[in-house]
Amino acid sequence: MRVKVSWPRGGTVLVVTAGLVFGAAAPAGAHRGVLPTLHHDGRGTVWLTLAWDDGHPVTEPGLAMLSASSEAGATLPVTALRPLPHDPATLPLPGALAAGEWTVTVDVATPGVGYCSARLLVGTDGGPQTIPCATPAPAATAAPAAQGRPGWLIGALAAVAAAGLGALWSRRRTKRRPALRIAPRRR
């Protein structure tokens, strides 16, 4: 006994429609910038931690540039901050700042754009500080929002078009089949 398995007429239309609806989804929104937080232990050790501006943790290695100048006239030239091997969102300053009051400027370049400027008081018995930096300005970190139709609307229109084309194709296919004619019996 032979069993014939057939694909339902609407099956192709259903598969094409599902592919267009689920395949035409808009990409996930990308992060715009990072929020750096400047830390120091009060004795000159400085490090930076990064988080995305939407609150998500940073999981890829960061890169920032730090420069500093003290009230006494000492300066720290632009220095690259690289991530710790086990924590890509923590970027320590190699070395330490000398005692005094410092103005520190940080520019984050990777994985997103961020900026921070703060005053640190460094001393032998200084207290630790944690300075969260402001949210980056939207004009500086993000391109203007794309004008156009939302992704779900485009997907829905594509699904309706696919369903209509599938129905038209199915109807034309059934019209082209010749009708079965039964010849009259001869006597």
Give dist(CA 105, CA 133) in Å, integer: 11
Domain membership of residue 12 (yes or no) is: no
Domain membership of residue 63 (yes or no) is: yes
Q: How many residues does the chain have?
A: 187
State the pLDDT at residue 28: 47
Domain membership of residue 174 (yes or no) is: no
In one letter, which amino acid is 30?
A
Domain membership of residue 102 (yes or no) is: yes
Strands 100-110 and 90-92: unpaired
Peptide bond before 111: cis, by omega within 30 degrees of 0? yes
- Read off the pLDDT of residues 77-94 as tens digits, 9 standing for 90 and up: 999 989 998 998 999 999
Local structure of residue 86 (DSSP, 8 states): T
**74-78: long-range pairs with CB below 8 Å, 24+:** 74/98, 74/100, 76/102
In one letter, which amino acid is 58?
V
Q: Which of 47-56, 79-88, 178-187 has the lowest mean pLDDT?
A: 178-187
Question: How many C-beta atoms lie closer than 10 Å to residue 163's C-beta?
Answer: 17
User: Please, where are the H alpha helices in 24-150?
Assistant: 138-141
Give the CATH number, domain containing residue 105.
Answer: 2.60.40
Residue 6 and residue 115 in contact, taking contact as beta carbons nearer than 8 Å: no
State the pLDDT at residue 156: 73
Domain membership of residue 6 (yes or no) is: no
Is the pLDDT reported for residue 109 higher than 80? Answer: yes
Domain membership of residue 148 (yes or no) is: no
Domain membership of residue 155 (yes or no) is: no
Is the pLDDT reported for residue 114 higher than 80? Answer: yes
Domain membership of residue 7 (yes or no) is: no
pTM confidence score = 0.56
Residue 31 and residue 58 in contact, taking contact as beta carbons nearer than 8 Å: no
Residue 100 and residue 72 in contact, taking contact as beta carbons nearer than 8 Å: yes
The boundaries of the domain holding residue 95 are 34-136
How many structural domains is the chain composed of?
A: 1
- Read off the pLDDT of residues 125-172 as tens digits, 9 standing for 90 and up: 778 889 898 755 554 444 444 455 566 667 777 778 778 777 776 776
CA atoms within 13 A on the CB side of 122: 24
